[in-house]
Amino acid sequence: MSVPWWISAWTDAKPDGWVEACRRVHLWMLRVDLSLMRWIYLGSGANEVSQMKTAGLLLVLATGLLGLAVVASASGGSLGGTKVKRLPGPVVALAIDRSRVAYGAVVPKTGGDAVSVWNLRTGTTTKVSSELAHKGGIDELAIAGSRVAWYMSGGGNTESDDYLFTNSVLKPKERLVAMEVRYGEDCGSIGVRCSGKWIRGVVASGNRILVNRWRTMRSGSITQAGLYSLNGTHFKLVATGAGTVEAVAADPKRVAVLHPDGTIGLYSTAGKPLTKVTPSARAERVALSGRNLAVLEPHGKLALYDTRTGSLRKTFILHGNPDLLLGQALAVQGNIAVYSTPARFSKNTAGESIVSGSAIRALNLSTGKDRPVGSLPGHITLARMNSFGLVYSNYENGPYRLAFRPFKQVAAAVS
């Protein structure tokens, strides 16, 4: 359910006790008149705009305290506690902006991937892509406000394809923005001798969605490289040069670029080169927030660099054995980082020990305090975090889940 922004703003300003009282009344109303609520919500449309109209009808029908209860509960006030969304397939790409979570997930019925947006305030989920028109894999995903963009890969043994799509949560209409095709053996990764054009590096920085475009020669050298902002279906050049390839993380003011040689370049969102970082080992994951550039290195080592100087500030040895995971999750917000680690094990049919459950842990980058803040079955491979909260998902060994926890709770666990 969704409500107009002015109603959400009004209820957000109310004391928590008042909002909680309204929620209790709303719960009573739901029990008394559940059939009416179902009639209003079912078939209310696939996007947030149509759901706002439905919410408006509900407000007209409700009066007095019951009406206030509906408003308070629908807007959510604060985002509340932990939320878990059940999914038919695993999440393959994840992004968060404010209270919206964009995720790409496998659709078992079709074998393709589909992108949806989960509004944490209202609980609504808007599907913004088709899984039937293209059965490629979603590799990168970004959301900025109501705009979503994602990169999909496809191809075969001697062909590799890049597809860039965009859509809006408020007026869903999926658009193919650009497509590039390369030919040659093993053309799917940077560094191989494959000539052609590329589209990757999809990240969000504040209210902007940024994308890399470049060309490789048969020698493997990168040419015609640039970092672009995506405005609707149009590209605007932000920065040029091979050093802009490939964007892997961003905060509202900076973009982190992981180069083929393993170094990391930092750019302002206006395209100005800021500093360069040379990790001591290959970067598995990169996360960026303010002055903190967190680099996840092999075998459970986390290196923390200063975004202003590029110097190494601290190193942490993380809990557990990340080598047992299909991929270790990493995210950072302010001085709090989160990462995933194996937590439970079981025996498979061959008697081998496998990961049956994993934990997401919070790490205070100032004090080093480290505590678990969540868990899911199988392997937690993706996590994203902002000032609203932490979202994370599992991949192997379902049931598949997408979980959210408010940032205040995550920070409190390691304060």
The CA radius of gyration of the chain, in Å to the nearest whole number, is: 22
Closest C-alpha to 129, from 160, 97, 151: 151
- State residue 92 phi and psi, 5-degree precision: -110, -15
Beta strand 91-97 pairing with 83-87:
unpaired
Instruction: Provide the 3-class DSSP secondary structure of residue 90.
Output: coil
Report the 10 Å Cβ neighbour count for 242. Answer: 14
Q: What is the mean pLDDT of residues 86-96?
A: 96
Amino acid at 378: G
- pLDDT of the residue at 186: 62
The C-alpha atoms of residue 34 and residue 42 are separated, in whole angstroms, by 12
- pLDDT of the residue at 172: 92
- pLDDT of the residue at 50: 55
Query: Which 8-state DSSP code applies to residue 68?
Result: H
Determine, yes or no, domain membership for 171. Answer: no
- pLDDT of the residue at 154: 81
Locus of tokens 């305090």? 369
Q: What is the DSSP string of 158-197?
A: SEEEEEEEEEESSS---EEEEEEEEESTTTTSTTSS--EE
- pLDDT of the residue at 20: 43
Q: Going by C-beta distance under 8 Å and a sequence separation of 6 or more, which residues neighbour residue 59? A: 3, 7, 67, 70, 71
Residue scoring higher pLDDT (184 or 170): 170
**Strand partners of residue 295:** 286, 303
- 275 pLDDT above the threshold of 80: yes
Determine, yes or no, domain membership for 375. Answer: no
- pLDDT of the residue at 396: 82
- 214 pLDDT above the threshold of 60: yes
- pLDDT of the residue at 30: 41
- pLDDT of the residue at 49: 56
Closest C-alpha to 152, from 202, 90, 209: 202
- 1 pLDDT above the threshold of 90: no
In this predicted model, what pLDDT tens digit does every residue of 105-117 receive, in sequence order?
998 888 889 999 9
Report the 10 Å Cβ neighbour count for 154. Answer: 16
Determine, yes or no, domain membership for 29. Answer: yes
Determine, yes or no, domain membership for 414. Answer: no
Please report, for residues 109, 244, 378, the alpha-carbon distance to residue 356 in angstroms, rounded to integers and kept in the order given: 25, 39, 5
- pLDDT of the residue at 190: 53
- pLDDT of the residue at 182: 87
In this prediction the pTM is 0.81
Q: What is the mean pLDDT of residues 144-173?
A: 90
- pLDDT of the residue at 34: 38
Q: What is the mean pLDDT of residues 304-319?
A: 97
Residue scoring higher pLDDT (36 or 303): 303
Domain span at 41 = 5-75
Closest C-alpha to 148, from 105, 189, 103: 103
Among left, alpha and beta (phi > 0; psi -120 to 50; other), residue 232 is left
Kindly indicate the confidence band of residue 133, based on its pLDDT and cuts at 50, 70 and 90.
very low
Note whether 196 and 180 are within 8 A (CB).
yes
Determine, yes or no, domain membership for 364. Answer: no
The C-alpha atoms of residue 265 and residue 259 are separated, in whole angstroms, by 7
Determine, yes or no, domain membership for 317. Answer: no
Q: How far apart are the first and last CA of the chain?
A: 34
- pLDDT of the residue at 353: 86
Amino acid at 186: D
Determine, yes or no, domain membership for 51. Answer: yes
- pLDDT of the residue at 218: 79
Residue scoring higher pLDDT (3 or 352): 352
Please report, for residues 148, 170, 323, the alpha-carbon distance to residue 3 in angstroms, rounded to integers and kept in the order given: 21, 13, 45
- pLDDT of the residue at 165: 95
Q: Going by C-beta distance under 8 Å and a sequence separation of 6 or more, which residues neighbour residue 12? A: 75, 77, 78
Locus of tokens 């370049």? 265
Determine, yes or no, domain membership for 36. Answer: yes
How many domains are there within the chain?
Answer: 1
Query: Which 8-state DSSP code applies to residue 242?
Result: G
Q: What is the token pair recorded at 154?
A: 């496809």
The kind and range of the H/E element at 27 are helix 16-32
Beta strand 264-268 pairing with 254-258:
antiparallel
Mean pLDDT over the full length of the chain: 83
Q: What is the mean pLDDT of residues 94-98?
A: 97
